[in-house]
Amino acid sequence: MQPLDDFMRDYFLARIAEEERERPNRVAYRRKFYTADCFFDSREGTIEMIESEHVLATNDEPGEVITAFTNPILEGSPPQKQRYLLTRSGEAWLIREVQLACYSCGGEPGNEGCMLCHGKGWLSLQFGKGKRE
């Protein structure tokens, strides 16, 4: 089986390539709906953020879900710790979910009073699923 670090490196490189491939297709859409100085939905800095991402640590304990922690940097913002939940699929890895450290409580688990993560320390990026880990 491919080592988890190698899988994540391949994933980051493929994600950059996909972002570069999609960028030209968004030009007409952006011209139609946004002014040139509006950066909402521009994906500005996305490639640089992905390039900055690398695995800080993994939790490769026996079980169904393996965890990889990263710390990507979006220009002008502090690093935002992310947690990838991965599962084995035969001889391959698949990303099951990506979570962000809670920006309200600083990602500290146990803060039951946090209105965003309810003490979990993490926010799911699976929007619409209502899932929090």
Asked if residue 10 has pLDDT above 90, the reply is: yes
pLDDT digits (tens, 9 = 90+) for 33-50: 999 999 888 888 889 999
Specify the CATH number for the domain of residue 36: 3.10.450
If we measure between CA atoms, which residue out of 23, 123, 32 comes closest to residue 81?
A: 123
Is 120 inside a domain boundary?
no
Is 39 inside a domain boundary?
yes
Is 33 inside a domain boundary?
yes
Contact present, 95 and 111 (Cβ < 8 Å): no
Tokens 């809670």 belong to residue:
102
Is 115 inside a domain boundary?
no
Is 111 inside a domain boundary?
no
Work out the angle at residue 131's Cα, subtended by the Cα atoms of residues 17 and 53, and round it to the nearest 5 degrees: 30
Is 122 inside a domain boundary?
no
pLDDT digits (tens, 9 = 90+) for 90-115: 888 999 999 999 988 877 788 888 98
DSSP 31: H
If one counts the domains in the chain, the total is 1
Give the range of the structural domain holding residue 60, as residue numbers without chain letter.
4-101
The strands making up 65-70's β-sheet, listed across from edge to edge, are 55-59, 65-70, 82-89, 92-101, 122-124
Is 80 inside a domain boundary?
yes
Is 107 inside a domain boundary?
no
Q: Is 84 left (phi over 0), alpha (psi -120 to 50) or beta?
A: beta
Helix (H, G, I), strand (E, B), or coil: what is residue 98?
Answer: strand
* pLDDT (0 to 100) of residue 133: 45
* pLDDT (0 to 100) of residue 127: 65
